Amino acid sequence: MVEVKGRKIVIDPGLALGYRRYGLLPHPAQVAVGEQVRRKIVAALEDATDVVMSHFHGDHVPLPDANPYQLKAQQVAPLCQKVRLWAKGPAGLSHNMMSRKQSLCKVLGRELPNAEGQRDGPMAFSPPVPHGEPHSKLGTVMMTRIEDEDGVFVHASDIQLLDGEAVSLILAWRPDIVLADGPPIYLPWLSSEKRASAWDNALQLARGVDTLILDHHLLRCEEGLSWLDRLSSETGHDVICAADFMGRPRCLLEAWRTRLYREMPVPDGWHDAYSRGDTDTSAYRDYLDLGELRPGMVLEGKVKSIVSFGAFVDVGLGREGLVHISELSEGWVDKVSDVVSVGDEVRVKVLDVDLEKRHIALTMKGAKQPD
């Protein structure tokens, strides 16, 4: 969502979890995050002035035939009656995507006009560019440029940095901030030549903008984080993921799906029951709550247990955080029990959150204790 010059622009109001990855359906913790994101999309649409659809894949648009983990077009149709719609044109659309577009028009009760190559106030739209490499069976996408007095933002999702001409077009727009899709390095069949091409294109793009946000396909594996950080180090420019930009913890739920199943086993039949509405994600939402924590947050908690190296504090998220003995006080502490006891109400500050391991590091330093 971008707010500029009296306009609230929502780009690609869709959500989808990979239906099967590693042979597994979405973990309920992922589903819980998906529920929250759907609510945020709906809230953004309630007072949007413009809606942009870069292409018609299921994770970018609301769907007339949504599965339980996607955003239903029927849910958002009443919110899209008065907004200005800007959509990808027919060039490069497969038969299936053209059918999806027509079905979406029917549910919305409106046409989705071709915006490719057009300008309107602060917004401009690209001609079709490849979804990934040129001539891919995935077709083409539309990029969006938004300008105000503070600078230029470009949305270039799903280009995957596999086409040099798309990167050149972005740079010709002279952006300050670019949000783009990184290469799908999680795919074992992505050749070394294509990986090298994506890296070269990424170097060119990163050196030409103040802030480059890379996400989506790139972060479907943990290697993507190393790729991102190496790019930032090599160029000396601000290269980050979307979570970094928003000040949130990095949370690679797609990459962690197998681990989530191992750490939080899912009962047989859960997905069928969820599809019928016979169960919900409440038992898994503490994982979502952990994702809301940020370093520096001050929380109220209760000491649950004491060990030689620190105290475990319940901060109400279904997961206890650790205050290491060195973080109990500004001064030297010989024994944990010299500072706290089980049952004590304490005030703690978040030092770090490891979503992958579900660990919370806390400190009592700088957190004024309750009387």
In a 10 Å sphere around its CB, with 0-12 CB exposed, 13-18 middle and 19+ buried, how is residue 101 labelled?
Answer: buried
**Which pLDDT value is given to residue 289?**
66
Question: What are the boundaries of each domain within the chain?
Answer: 2-258, 294-363
**Which pLDDT value is given to residue 370?**
66
* Measured distance CA(325)–CA(331) in Å, rounded: 11
**Which pLDDT value is given to residue 275?**
95
pTM for this predicted structure: 0.81
Q: Please answer whether residues 107 and 99 qualify as being in contact, where contact means their C-beta atoms are separated by less than 8 angstroms.
A: no
Condensed to tens digits (0 to 9), the pLDDT of residues 269-284 reads 999 999 999 999 988 8
Condensed to tens digits (0 to 9), the pLDDT of residues 185-236 reads 999 999 999 999 999 999 999 999 999 999 999 999 989 999 999 999 999 9
**Which pLDDT value is given to residue 359?**
86
User: In CATH terms, is domain 294-363 a member of 2.40.50.140?
Assistant: yes
Nearest to 111 by CA among 96, 128, 90: 90
Number of H helices, E strands in the chain: 10, 18
| Phi and psi, residue 354, nearest 5° | -105, 95
Nearest to 199 by CA among 220, 226, 178: 226
309: enclosing H helix or E strand: none
In a 10 Å sphere around its CB, with 0-12 CB exposed, 13-18 middle and 19+ buried, how is residue 44 labelled?
Answer: middle
Strand partners, 145: 124, 154
Which CATH architecture does the domain made up of 2-258 adopt?
4-Layer Sandwich (3.60)
The shares of helix, strand and coil residues in the chain, as percent rounded to the nearest 5, are 35, 25, 45
* Measured distance CA(174)–CA(210) in Å, rounded: 10
Q: Please answer whether residues 221 and 185 qualify as being in contact, where contact means their C-beta atoms are separated by less than 8 angstroms.
A: yes
**The one-letter amino acid at 237:** H
Three-state SS for 269-300 is CHHHHHHHCCCCCHHHHHHHHHHHCCCCCEEE
Helix, strand, or coil (residue 42): helix
> Longest Cα pair distance anywhere in the chain, in angstroms?
71
- Mean pLDDT for back-to-back runs of 10 residues, the chain (371 residues): 94 92 93 91 96 96 95 95 96 93 96 97 97 90 96 96 96 98 94 96 96 95 92 94 82 87 91 95 74 76 92 81 93 93 90 83 84 61
* Measured distance CA(161)–CA(198) in Å, rounded: 5
Residue with tokens 């010709």: 172
**Which pLDDT value is given to residue 36?**
86
* Measured distance CA(219)–CA(179) in Å, rounded: 14
Dig out the tokens for 45 from the structure. 């649409």
Dig out the tokens for 260 from the structure. 């989530």
Q: Please answer whether residues 344 and 302 qualify as being in contact, where contact means their C-beta atoms are separated by less than 8 angstroms.
A: yes
Residue 256 neighbours by CB under 8 Å, 6+ apart: 356
Quote the crossing angle between the two packed helices 285-292 and 28-46, to the nearest 10°. 60
